[in-house]
Homo-oligomer: A and B are copies of this chain.
Amino acid sequence: MPEPTGQSSLRGPVEVIGTGLLGTSIALALRAVGVDVLLSDVSSEHLRTASGLGAGRVRRPEDRPQLVVVAVPPDHLGEAITGALAASDAVVTDVGSVKSAPLAAVRELPGAGRYVGSHPMAGSEQSGPLAASATLFDGRPWAVTPHAGADVAAVELVEELVRACGATLVLLTPEEHDRAVARTSHVPHLLASLVAARLAEAPENHLALSGQGVRDVTRVAAGDPALYSQIVSGNADAVLALLGEVRAQLDDVMAAVGAGDRDGLRTVLERGVAGTRAIPGKHGGPPRAMASVWVQVPDHPGELARLFADAVASEVNIEDVRIDHDPGRPVGLVEVVVDEGRAEHLRTSLESRGWTTQR
């Protein structure tokens, strides 16, 4: 079996641009495993705080990072990624909540192959470096979203960043990622805000009946409105499609409640129960048995990206991708690691799309 070659192992230094909650937490996590971290921020106050917390040292002009992590607010992502690609030949990733929009700004640039987007599914209602923690990403999903032109070595380096932070790697195309977070993050946030807004209008003595349920439903709605309006606006198409579905089903609920149609109401509630059961176990659930699917990949540009897109389109959680870099062979072997129970499905799906797999 081919082994990962380790050509792109994370040695550092890693530059973190933006020392807010996420950036500082990444820096702390990297420092905890001995990686050298360089910090940059337009806010000298955040920079001082992060540095004082032991997150790294302030970047000097002569520093040469191996990897740059852009952790700035959504509106500044495109600009910061572009700047980082031009400033050095380092691999560049970002941790923004939406992946298609920043990519559009970067895709045609020289050096775009060194950019690989990512998105850790961690955070809190708090913000700023003082809320940061080296363990923020422990066991949390962290999406890595290579575009079709991404360099293989760049993808692998960003995967190593994810592992170094203790997170669980989830590979998705940028477009699939944006549809996924609309469903698992942006629409839940908006609906939580609509529920919470009703509380803002309530008589004080009514709110005395608030139990744990309404606290849970509305917790995320405490997040920064300026930040979330940026995030949601940056993913408008995917969000609108799902909100349309919510609105149609809300009409069904109102019709059922108005007509005393309990069966209709129960059907919606049962669908909700099914949804809660579809969420994977917290922290990825118990360890599962994994299996590898080996695929022959012609050794020329674009083929790996095409394999990756086809694997993602098979709707299988891809736990890992390892690539045989042996330059002496015209055909490479790529190992795609998935849940044991899904391996056969992936193999069949890839073969139906014209790939040759090895058994």
Contacts and interface: CB of A to CB of B under 8 A. Distances in A.
Interface string A172-206: 10001101110111011111111111111111111
A141 B228 CA distance: 32
Contact of A210 (B123, B196, B202, B280): B280
Interface in A232-254: 232-233, 236, 239-240, 242-247, 249-251, 253-254
A177 B209 contact: yes
A122 interface: yes
A183 B198 contact: yes
A218 B216 CA distance: 8
A269 B193 CA distance: 6
Copies of this chain assembled into the complex: 2
Contacts of A189: 213, 217
Nearest to A279: B210
A104 interface: no
Q: Which of A140, A208, A272 is most buried by chain B, counting CB atoms within 10 A of its CB?
A: A272
A206 B221 contact: no
A215 interface: yes
Interface in A211-231: 211-223, 225-226, 228-230
Nearest to A342: B204
A228 to B, nearest CB: 6
A208 B143 CA distance: 9
A9 B214 CA distance: 34
A207 interface: yes
Given A185-B214, A194-B191, A197-B275, A225 B266 contact: yes
A206 B194 contact: no
Given A211-B184, A280-B210, A269 B229 contact: yes
Contact of A245 (B198, B223, B260, B275): B198
Nearest to A247: B250
B279 A207 contact: yes
Contacts of A240: 254, 257-258
Contacts of A220: 213, 216-217
Contacts of A119: 209
A229 B260 CA distance: 10
Contacts of A268: 190, 193-194, 197
B279 A199 contact: yes
B257 A218 contact: no
Contact of A196 (B232, B253, B275): B275
A282 interface: yes
A44 to B, nearest CB: 27
A121 interface: yes
Contacts of A215: 279, 282
5 contacts: A180-B203, A225-B269, A228-B269, A233-B262, A236-B257
Task: Please list the 5 inter-chain residue pairs (A to B) with the smallest Cβ-Cβ separation, ordered nearest first.
Answer: A193-B272, A196-B275, A180-B206, A225-B269, A199-B275
Interface of A: 119, 121-123, 140-141, 143, 170, 172, 176-177, 179-181, 183-185, 187-223, 225-226, 228-230, 232-233, 236, 239-240, 242-247, 249-251, 253-254, 257-258, 260, 262-263, 265-266, 268-280, 282, 312, 315-318
